[in-house]
Amino acid sequence: MAMRDTAIVAYAETKIVQKSDRDIWELGAEVLEALLDKTGMEKGEIDGLVLSGSQTGAGNPFWSQATADQLALEVDYCGISDIGGCGPTGAVARAAAAIEAGLCETALCLFADTQSRENNTRQRHYQAEWTVPLGLLGPPTSFGFITCRYQEQFGLDYRMLGKLAVAQRNGAVLNDLACEKLRSPITIDDYVNSRMIAEPVRLLDSVMVCDGASGLIMTSKKNAAKKGFKKAAFIKGYGEKTSYQFAENIVDVTDTGHMPAGQKAFKQAGITAKDVRSFHPYDDFIIAMILQMEMMGFCKKGQGCDFIREHDFNFNGDLPLNTGGGQISAGQVGLAGGGTNLVEAVRQLFGEAGKRQVKDTTNAVVTGIGGIPYSRNWNTSVVMVLTPNG
C-alpha cells in the first residue's frame, strides 16, 4: 500500500477550552510553531497543507487558501478533507497519497475549529426540510433514535456505557490539554444519574462543544530517514466508506460503514481486532463506540455490553481506549474534534503520553464518524491502523 511510504514525524495540540478568546488562525499558528520547533524544520520545507473541515470557516469557499495565506505557507498541494468528524484522519490519508504521488514532500495536516466562539455553518442538506420542522434538532436526538433502536434489538446495560465514560474521564484527568471543566473524576453512578438530554441519551453520553486545534507533520519515509527522525508513526491500513447502504430502501441504523472500512484497514495492516493494542474510536456519543466495536469485529453484533464488561479500557488495561479522554471528556473541537483522538494515538506510539502511557505500542487504531443523516447511520466512516515501525 502506497501510504506506507509516508511518516508522521511530529504532532502538536493546543489546550482545549470551552470558548476561545483567540481567533482560529492564532490557534493554527500555535500548532504550526510547535511542529516546527519539534522537527527543527524551516517553514519553507512544508510544501503541502491539508485541513480538516471547520465550522468557523464553513462559509468560506477559499478556506484552505486563506489559511495558507494567514500562516504564510507557500505550498504545492492544498486542500480540505471535508468529511465531517472523519476529516482529520481523512486528511492524513490524503496527505499521504499526495506525498506518494509526488505532489508534495512534507505536509502540514491542521485540524482547527472555534465552533463555540464563531460558528458560521450554513448547511444545505436535508435538515431544513425534513428534520428541523419535526423537532429533530441535532445529534443528541439522532443518537437517541439509534440508542433506542439498539436497545430494542439487543438490550442495553447502561452501566456498561457508564464504564466507558469513566475510563475516558480517567484519561482526561491525566491530560493537561483537556478542557478543565471536564477534568473531574466521575463514577458509573454519576453517569447513570446524569440528566437526560434526548432520552435515552444522557449528559455524560455526549460531547461538549469546545475550541482548539491540533496538527501533524508528515513527510516521505525517505526524507524522514534523511533528517534522522528518531520517532515516527506509519499508516499500515486505511479504510473509508461514505453513504454505506444509502441506496437501500430500508436499512438497519445499527449497521455502519465501519464494517467495510475496518475490514479493509485490518486486511492491509495484516491484523484483526484481537491484535489492536490501543483503540481511539470517534466518540461523539458513547453508543457510537459500541457500534464501532461490533462493526470492526471486537465482538459480535449485539454483544457490545458483554464485551465491555469483560475488558479494562483504562490506559493500563487490556484495551486502552481514548486514553487522553476522547472528545467526550477532553472536549469536542468542532469538525476538528477527530484530531484529538488521532493526535493521542500518535502520542502513545511515540511513547510520550506521560502518566497515561500505554505499555504496548505495537499499534494504535483510530476511527472517524462524519455526518449524521436522517433514517440512516453516519455519512462517512473511516478506520486507520498506525504503527511505530515503517
Q: Which residues contact 54 (CB under 8 A, 6 or more apart)?
A: 24, 63, 112, 113, 334, 335, 336
Instruction: Give 19's DSSP letter.
Output: S
Nearest to 24 by CA among 333, 356, 332: 333
Cα 64 from Cα 51, distance rounded (Å): 7
Q: What pLDDT score was predicted for residue 137?
A: 72
The whole-number average pLDDT for the span 252-279 is: 97
What distance in Å separates the CA atoms of residue 330 and residue 325, rounded to the nearest whole number? 5
> How far is the C-alpha of 66 from the C-alpha of 80, rounded, in Å?
12
How far apart are alpha carbons 160 and 290 in whole angstroms?
A: 10
Grid cell of 320 as nine digits: 486502552
DSSP codes of every residue in 151-218: HHHH---HHHHHHHHHHHHHHHHT-TTS-GGG-S---HHHHHHSPEEETTEEGGGB--B-BEEEEEEE
Domains of the chain: 2-119+210-227 (3.40.47.10), 133-208+234-387 (3.40.47.10)
Chain segment 72-114, per-residue pLDDT in tens:
999 999 999 999 999 999 999 999 999 999 999 999 999 999 9
Neighbouring C-alpha atoms within 13 Å toward the C-beta of 232:
25
CA distance 50 to 229: 22
- Cell match 458513547: residue? 286
Question: Is the pLDDT assigned to residue 125 strictly greater than 80?
Answer: no
- Stated as kind and residue range, the H or E segment containing 72 is none
What is the pTM (predicted TM-score) of this model? 0.97
Q: Give the model confidence (pLDDT) of 25-45 as tens digits.
A: 999 999 999 999 999 999 999
As beta bridge partners, residue 280 has 366
Helix or strand (DSSP H, E) at 219: strand 212-220
Distances (CA, A) of 171 to 17, 232, 269: 17, 23, 27
Q: Tell me: pLDDT of 388 over 80.
A: yes
The predicted-structure confidence for 197-226, as pLDDT tens digits, reads as follows: 999 999 999 999 999 999 999 999 999 999
Supply the DSSP symbol for 57: S
